Structure 1
Amino acid sequence: MKLYISRLILGTLFLFTQFISAQSLSKNQFKVKGNCEMCKTRIEGAAKKAGAKKAEYSIDLQTLTLETDPGSAEDILKKVAKAGHDNEKFRASKEVYDGLPGCCHYERDLQETVSQTVTQAPYSKQENEYFVRGNCASCKARIEKAAKGAGADFAEWNAEKQTVILHFNGSKTSSDTILKAIADAGHDNEKYRTPDTVYNGLPACCLYDRDFTFGEPNPKVHNEEGAKHENHQQHETAANEGHSQHEKNIEGVVVTGSKAATSLNKKETGLVFNIDKKELLKAACCNLSESFETNATVDVSFSNAVTGTKQLKMLGLDQKYTSLTKEQLPEIRGLASAYGLNFIPGRWIESIQLTKGGSTVTNGYESITGQINTELLKNAKTPETSLNLFSDFNGRAEANITSVSPINDKWSQTFLLHGNGTFGNTDMNHDGFLDRPKGTQINAAYLLNYNDLEKSGFGSHFGINFIRDERTAGQVGYDKRLAQDEQYAYGVGIDISRFQVWNKTGYVFKGKPYQSIGWMNQYVYHQQDSFFGLRNYAGKQHTYYSNLIFESIIGNTNHKYKAGASFLYDGYEETYLINDFKRNEIVPGIFAEYTLTGLKYTLVAGTRVDFHNLAGTQLTPRLNFKYDFTPQTILRLSAGRGFRTANVFAESQQYFASNRSISILPNGGNIYGLKPEIAWNYGASLQQEFKLFGRKSSIIADFFRTDFQDQVLVDLDRSPQQLTFYNLEGKSFANSFQTQWDFTPFKNFDVRLAYKYYDVQADYIGGRREVPFMAKHRGFVNLAYATHKNDKGSFWSFDTTLNWVGKQRLPDTASNPQEFQLPAYSNSYAVLNAQISRNFNKKIRAYVGGENLTSYYQKNAIVDFKNPFGNYFDGGMVYAPIMKANFYVGLDVTF
């Protein structure tokens, strides 16, 4: 049945795209970017002036239909680009594009391949002509009325040129007086900026884009509020975590454009969220596991009450079903599954790309619920060194040093250093066990980058990373200096060493910017030695990964393809108690992916074949489809298959801090006697953007279903004294629905609201049950506000996040004595985090915050904590925070 459904969906999508593709452009029809009726007039006018006998532009289809003499279409499209409109042959220069009215600023795809960029000098004003911003006929009337009211004998505003021509008696008035009156009426110009209160009071149709340059020397700003705003814009820096910015200098003009700290990429066919490093500054982001506190898509939870580690969940399923990569290379997998999130410090992260649903086949076969890729700091035009110090009130301290610097115009390097330590005994629930482990971590990395794509076409990235992490947990009285057989207290020790080195090299073919080849290689060594009470667990992993990708087009850039080959080697050696488990996984693979781009749709269809020495040959097809009903209304569909091999010990260490015996029921497979996990994932999402309070707002609703063809079930219900692994016989599925609303009620105040519903069930040996520790209902609220900068560049930021978690099914403990039994379902609860930060200037930022300010914590998080060596002891039954409110302080200094 699952195979029939998947074929039906894939077939329907294929036929639908074939129908659309059949309606391809005729020979006299060309793709041209535009937004409004003004664009239509400009495009058709430019085409006719260039010799077109007939020119008709469609705003909805984004096409220009021409009647021309043979061979003249290219010259016409060049003239259209010179007028400011990108097309399939030529790209308008930035100066011309920036000079278009705000309503004509279509969305430019910076990765779109066109033949060349058409350059043209910025528009030059005549005498008594001044730049003035506006949008429509109402703007024209307002501008001309204000000018005449200030003494102009004649005033005519041109929407296309964004200029006003003034005639006036110089002995009675001046251009300064007239332009100030125009600014006071609501329209920015080359000398004065409108007060925000006046601009915000304009009709919605008149709200022009204020982050704009006319290509002229830096305009003087005389009115007091405008001067403050200009200073605020010019000094906006990466320190403003609530409102990240990007700046460019053009002929002395500072152009600042707002960039959301978290944004949904409208150009991506899949549902891809880009998380900027500014988003990570909204909370105590000490490592990757804490990087999603302000994100509604990923659920963060503690995995047990003894080791205190955190785990991520996405689409209602455990972290192991999400592909976690760093620099697009496999990162947190295998033996690193339990603690790997702690090995990527938050201050090292430049950005995170979060993909919901099956990702591209070029990144491998393991992605089932999605992919989370982390990019490290490595881009800098000028040297920058930063120091971060962090400490909470319960004995945790961290320090980060990051240094990014160019060596010359082609080479740059990054030094990353992190150290942390937890030294205090934290036992907030007074059960005699530490709420989080004590220990230290040293983490160092070096990155070297070469970029000569413009000249030679070559680019390369090299990285090396070493980690040493030691943790001790268990009862407060545990003494790690004593031998394990001499201990009277229950203790946990985790000692991890990790080394990795990687390289990514690419080449873009000269004269063919659409054609490239890239090769990625990585080696990882990971070793863990640990014990949980009287149980020992140790493991070693050697991994080598290689991926070769070739990208080009078929005819034109509407038809792109990728093809390549990959190789993965995993060597595992594990010891649990007295049992040794060894295996080598060798997986060569090949893949191909095709991208079809139409006027309003994009289809990405790919498949890969992997020849796994233990799991057999695996076919992994994936498909993503995006349809833009309008630039503000976007539908996405996806379907795909993924598979993985389960590391049952490494991925279940949260249950080792218990006295459950481990049992594996073999099913004829070659990995612990088990078969690989195989699942299909289907998804649909709708993105809608609109104006609210005169500002951009968006609502996203998505639904995903994951159907397991095979799965390694972790059964906690068979007996409270047993942990059982076995292959699925029957059905296992996860339904996930999420809706998220982002809006800005007023300037510098961002609101994010979300609701999530999960239905996750599986057929266990005892029958179909809900998967434990998964709440059906979740709510999310995030509020972020930043004040304006003062003259010294200082400002405040305020961030708060509320997570509401509904009741969760708990594992069956009915056979335990009554005092050690858990209820069938947990209580719902809410967790509130908040942070206040102060940026004193570009160089210094201080912050203070609190986690779990509601102080909700799970009472009796450890079953039978008084007798840790008894039959009923269990530290893995955690569904809520185990620590009360915790406060922290931090300092960022940039040199």
Structure 2
Amino acid sequence: MKLYISKVILGAFLLFTQIIFAQNLSKSQFKVKGNCEMCKERIETTAKKAGAKEARYSIDSQILTLETDSNVSTDEILNKVAEAGHDNEKFKASNETYENLPGCCHYERDLQPKIAENHEHHSKKENEFYVKGNCASCKARIEKAAKDAGAKSADWNAEKQTVTLDFDSSKTSADKILKKIADVGHDNEKYKSSDSTYKNLPSCCLYDREIALGEKNPNVHYEEDTKSEHSEHADQNASNENHEKHIEGVIVTGGKAATSLSKKEAGLVFNIDKKELLKAACCNLSESFETNATVDVSFSNAVTGTKQLKMLGLDQKYTSLTKELLPEIRGLASAYGLSFIPGRWIESIQLTKGGSTVTNGYESITGQINTELLKNAKEPETSLNLFSDFNGRAEANITNVSKINEKWSQTFLLHGNGTFGNTDMNDDGFLDRPKGTQINAAYLLNYNDLEESGFGSHFGINFIKDERTAGQTDFNKQLAQDKQTAYGVGIDISRFQVWNKTGYVFKGKPYQSLGWMNQYVYHQQDSFFGLRNYSGKQQTYYSNLIFESILGNTNHKYKAGASFMYDGYDETYLIDNFKRNEIVPGIFAEYTLTGLKYTLVAGARADFHNLAGTQFTPRLNFKYDFTPQTILRLSAGRGFRTANVFAENQQYFASNRNIQILQNNGDIYGLKPEIAWNYGVSLQQEVKLFGRKSSIIADFFRTDFQNQVLVDLDRSPQQLTFYNLEGKSFANSFQTQWDFTPFKNFDVRLAYKYYDVQADYLDGRREIPFMAKHRGFVNLAYSTNKNNNGAFWSFDTTLNWVGKQRLPNTSSNPEEFQLPTYSESYAVLNAQISRNFNKKIRAYVGGENLTSYYQKNAIVDFKNPFGNYFDGGMVYAPIMKANFYVGLDVTF
């Protein structure tokens, strides 16, 4: 009986001890830098070994949640985490430890300011608190507020951003004192000042709220009980956004560069966000790269005013242009598709040079440009953009992004533009750009329940109606073509698309997921060029299923899946009708190996094209980190595509060239598909200049065509000939770019590009026309500091220098209609000044081609557009002089 009573007493004692022990557990959260599942495992394991009862790390929020006994020091835990290689708000890992982490674990260290090297940190005293301030006036204000709230003494340190308090806890409290400090305008670790109080501070006292608002002091330990946790989930491209995480009302924000080169990716991937797009007029995607040195943008036709992109010295058709990672600008949309994505709709752009991942298809040869639409909302937001230039072009954009509830959000996008002016700056009787209108509307619906159910989904629908008229200024589109005396061009396009992306993350396996993408596109174009008619219909269905997981651990990742592409084409040129259906099922696999300092991505796909036969597409990307500041990349890959000779060469329809196709036993216009290999090497180096980060990137890419559909403009000025390559065709591209910040708020970007692009035509090897060997680029961006109303000025200017270009052979024309062998070199200067009056209103004014250089002979024989020598496709430079514009952005 005594033994039984003893056991009961002992059990009750143990139970009581456990209750007391549990009650003494405290929960605290800390900012810890990490990058992947390996980081998560390492951080949590280290924390538990250091004494934490429970440790949970979120990669998304960069927050480590600890449950500890009262006798366990969180400082010791964080110190151990740093010794394992992970910077945190209290300690910083040594450079040697960080560099020895696997490549996938190399997080961005420069986003963690004011952390002392090698654990030289500021130890938090018992009554020391994080308080934001800026100057001696701040110090006096903070210390007076603390004393007014009952503190015996207060000492604020500007360098450490801390206030040390001495107070009688029976008469006041730290919370009461910090609340008083916030009331006079100074954010701190407990309370945030009201916007009105902050704005009324003297200008010298306006500290940077956007970077550190509510952030835990990186120099000081900050601990609090949290009753609940909040997490956010971003889609696969959210790494390009500014991040905001919520912890019990505390907001931690971090800004990223407007354009940045991803250190994580094995390939050469540039992330471009909305801030970069605001530096120029950016009315549509074709104008989104004015401040980017990688992509060349040029007019391709003097009559229709269309713009085309070029990358690595090759035409736009060799770059995969996607929207939401779904095929977008291809087929019939090749000529005018860049104008179908308004600039104000764009949330971010990912630009990949060289071979991209095999999971996105087989068509990429020189790279991929992916556009993500607005869909991530911190809070409901409606924006209005109005734009007008001085030559009769106007447009309006309305965007609305809002949350429906915790799991659902939606986006409404509306765009309208019109060009009404008869612009003819070179007095040749032809419009320098077409007149017309466009209505463009889209709706996006997003579902995100990855945390609970593991499901997420994105739905989109888009409709476009685009009408444009070009040609001679006295052309009347209302008259029938056979009754016209003037030369005219009419282009009417209707486009509808609907898409869905659905993903599932397996429970307990955050590294394992399944995604399925589907899209349907209907595109119709009816057009005429003088007396020549061209019309086409395209229906496309695309489906892509991707499974992602690991082999053993996250050092070995793989993706596998299957895709399906259907393209139905129905084209008519003059009286000839061309119909075909392309059906392409495919399978693919990709393996990612992450080592200590390297990342290898090797993939391959097999596509079973009903007309082009079975095509095998291997691709490889390799990244080696000599140091976190010195990165070498290598890439190699194969791509193939079917040439749409009519749709992709509409810039030459505004001429009197006869089209000839030299068939070669192929099933697509009698031609065989285009196949090319691309190889690349790049070196990224970061250095300190004027005490600020500076980066230099140098890359070289070579593209070798195994087969190509050549567009021959040289056989005769009256003929446009298509035929398959017999011999060699190659493109060498070298680019070096230097980005640096000489002083605060002033960014400089310098670049130089060299191209050597040649092909074996039927009559011998020649340089590809309209491709300058040498190009120079300068971009300067400066912004003033914000005043007490949050207002500031921004100044941006971009200079593009383009060297001479080979022009098509016109020697058989009469002398007055002959072009020189090479064009002149020229420079184009664009500039913009913008004023943010507050966070809601922004106005801007700018100019394009301020050097006013324009091609005077843009149209050959413009006086006789129905004659044999008329040609509007010989464009190598701008065809408009300086153009000025104004715009207004309002956010509600």
Short-chain TM bin: 0.7 to 0.9
Q: Name the CA shift for 1:84/1:534 in 2 (closer, same or farther; >3 Å).
A: farther
Secondary structure, in 3 states, of the residue corresponding to 1:584? strand
Tell which deviates more after alignment, 782-791 or 215-224: 215-224
Deviation at 1:296, TM superposition (A): 0.3
Matched, 1:863 2:867: no
After superposition, what is the alpha-carbon deviation per residue over 1:375-397, rounded to whole angstroms, capped at 9, x for unaligned?
00011131101000000000000
Which residue of the partner structure matches residue 614 of structure 2? 617
Counterpart for residue 879 of structure 2: 882
Per-residue displacement from partner, 1:328-378 (whole Å, max 9, x unpaired)? 000000000000000000000000000000100000000000000000001
Question: Match for 2:559 among 558, 562, 567?
Answer: 562
**Does residue 533 of structure 1 match 2:511?**
no
- Equivalent position SS for 1:98: coil
Q: How far off its partner does 1:766 sit?
A: 1.2
Equivalent residue number for residue 81 of structure 2: 85
Q: Which of 464, 469, 474 is matched with 2:461 structurally?
A: 464
Q: CA deviation at 1:327?
A: 0.2
Alignment of 1:232-311 (within 5 A): 246-248=243-245, 255-311=252-308
Partner of 1:507: 504
After TM superposition, list the pairs within 5 Å mapping 1:715-864 onto structure 2. 715-864=712-861
1:621 positional shift: 0.2
Following the alignment from structure 1 to structure 2, what is the Cα–Cα distance between the partners of residues 740 and 328? Answer: 27
Match of 1:342, SS state, is: helix
Deviation at 1:50, TM superposition (A): 5.0
2:381 counterpart of 1:403: no
Is residue 235–residue 793 contact of structure 1 (8 Å, CA) maintained in 2?
Answer: no
Cα deviation, 1:717-741, whole Å, max 9, x if unaligned, reads: 0000000000000000000000000
Going from structure 1 to structure 2, the CA distance change for 1:85 and 1:718 (only over 3 Å counts) comes to farther
1:420-569 equivalences under 5 Å are 420-569=417-566
Residue in structure 2 matched with residue 99 of structure 1 by the alignment: 90
- 1:732 and 1:681 map into 2 onto residues whose CA distance is 12
Give, in angstroms, the shift of residue 83 of structure 1. Answer: 3.6
Which of 624, 627, 631 is equivalent to 1:627? 624
Residue 228 of structure 1 deviates from its aligned partner by 1.2
Match of 2:347 in 1: 350
Q: What is residue 229 of structure 1 aligned with on the other side?
A: 207
Q: Is the 8 A contact 1:232 1:793 kept in 2?
A: no
Report deviation, 1:793: 1.0
- 1:146-186 C-alpha deviation (Å, 9 max, x unpaired): 9xxx9xxxxxxxxxxxxxxxxxxxxxx9964x54xx53xx5
Go from structure 1 to structure 2 and tell me whether the alpha carbon gap of 1:283 and 1:50 turns closer, same or farther (over 3 Å shift): closer
**Letter of the structure 2 residue corresponding to residue 538 of structure 1:** S
d(CA) in 2 for partners of 1:81, 1:645: 59
Write the letter of the residue equivalent to 2:628: P
Residues 729 and 80 (structure 1 numbering): CA distance in 2 closer, same or farther, change over 3 Å?
A: farther
Which amino acid letter does the alignment assign opposite residue 694 of structure 1?
A: G
Indicate conservation of the 8 Å contact 1:33/1:86, yes or no. no
| 2:126 aligned partner | 127
Say whether 1:669 aligns with 2:666. Answer: yes
Question: What is the aligned partner in structure 2 of residue 206 from structure 1?
Answer: none
Which secondary structure does the structure 1 equivalent of 2:317 belong to?
Answer: helix
| 1:113 Cα offset (Å) | 13
- What is the RMSD of the two structures over their aligned residues, measured on CA atoms? 3.4
Distance 1:123 1:692 in 2: 27
Name the counterpart of 1:372. Answer: 369
How far did residue 694 of structure 1 move? 1.4
Distance in 1, matches of 2:535 and 2:587, equals: 34
Equivalent pair of 2:47/2:77 in contact (CA under 8 Å): no
Residue 711, structure 1, aligned to residue 692, structure 2:
no
CA–CA separation in structure 1 for the residues paired with 2:576 and 2:716: 22
- In the other structure, the counterpart of 1:197 is none
Whether the aligned pair in 2 keeps the contact of 1:244 and 1:260 (CA below 8 Å) is: no
* Structure 1 residues 598 and 33, CA gap change in structure 2 (3 angstroms): farther
Cα 1:252–1:544, aligned 2, differ >3 Å: closer, same or farther? closer
Structure 1 position 414, deviation (Å): 0.5
Q: Does 1:315 align with 2:312?
A: yes
- Counterpart of 2:231 in structure 1 is none
Q: Give the whole-Å Cα distance in 1 for the aligned partners of 2:792 and 2:246.
A: 23
Aligned mate of 1:582, from 579, 593, 612:
579
Letter in 1 for 2:548: E
Write out per-residue CA displacement over residues 649-705 of structure 1, whole angstroms, 9 at most, x where no aligned residue: 000000000000000000111100000000000000000111111111100000000
Compared CA separation, residues 413 and 112, structure 1 to 2 (3 A) = farther
Tell me, yes or no, if the aligned pair for 1:232 and 1:790 is still in contact at 8 Å: no
Question: Which residue is 2:183 aligned to?
Answer: none
Conservation of the 8 A alpha-carbon contact between 2:203 and 2:787: no
How far apart, CA to CA, are the structure 2 residues paired with 1:312 and 1:331? 14
Structure 1 residues 81 and 285: CA distance shift in structure 2, 3 A = farther
SS in 2 for 1:861: coil
How far apart are the structure 1 equivalents of 2:408 and 2:852?
49
Unaligned 5+ segments in structure 2 are 1-31, 36-41, 52-71, 108-120, 140-150, 166-186, 215-239
CA shift, 1:248, in A, is 4.8
TM-score by length of 1: 0.80
Residue correspondence of structure 1 range 116-155 to structure 2 within 5 A: 125-127=124-126, 129=128
Name the residue aligned to 2:596: 599
Give the 3 Å change call, closer, same or farther, for CA 87–366 of structure 1 in structure 2.
farther
Cα distance 1:592–1:586, how it changes in 2: closer, same or farther (>3 A)? same
Maintained 8 Å contact 2:102/2:596: no
Q: 1:420–1:441: 8 Å Cα contact kept in structure 2?
A: yes
* Change beyond 3 A, Cα 1:516–1:81: farther
**In structure 2, what is the Cα distance between the partners aligned to 1:651 and 1:348?**
25
Contact in 2 for aligned 1:34/1:106 (Cα 8 Å): no
Please give the per-residue CA displacement for 1:281-311, whole angstroms capped at 9, x wherever unaligned.
1000000000000000000000010000100
Task: Return the alpha-carbon distance in structure 2 between the equivalents of residues 890 and 256 of structure 1.
Answer: 29
Contact 2:624 2:631 in 1 (8 A): yes
Secondary structure of the residue aligned to 2:585 is: strand
Alignment-derived partner of residue 681 in structure 1? 678
Match of 1:650 among 640, 643, 647: 647
Separation (CA, whole Å) in 1 of partners of 2:34 and 2:478: 72
Q: Secondary structure in 2 aligned to 1:550?
A: strand
**Residue 85 of structure 1: SS of its match in structure 2?**
helix
**Alpha-carbon offset, residue 227 of structure 1:** 2.3
- 1:486 and 1:877 map into 2 onto residues whose CA distance is 28
| Shift of residue 47, structure 1, vs aligned partner | 9.6
CA distance in 2: counterparts of 1:259 and 1:699, whole angstroms: 18
CA 397–234 in structure 1, closer or farther in 2 if over 3 Å, else same: farther
Q: Tell me if structure 2 keeps the 8 A contact 1:626–1:637.
A: yes
| 1:435 partner SS | coil
Distance (Å, rounded) in 1 between the aligned partners of 2:46 and 2:521: 58
- Taking a change above 3 Å as real, the CA distance of residues 571 and 381 of structure 1, as seen in their structure-2 partners, is same
Letter in 1 for 2:308: Q
8 Å Cα contact 2:563/2:585 also seen in 1: yes
- Letter aligned with residue 466 of structure 2: D
* Gap change, CA 1:406 and 1:86, over 3 Å in 2: farther
Distance 1:84 1:225, change over 3 A: farther
Task: State the shift of 1:189 in Å.
Answer: 3.5
Secondary structure in 2 matching 1:529: strand
Return the letter of the residue paired with 1:709: Q
SS of the residue aligned with 1:306?
A: coil
Q: Deviations over 1:737-784 (max 9, x none)?
A: 000000111111111000000000000011000000000000000011
d(CA) in 2 for partners of 1:738, 1:880: 21
Structure 1 residue 251: Cα displacement:
5.8
1:332-343 → structure 2 map (5 Å cutoff): 332-343=329-340
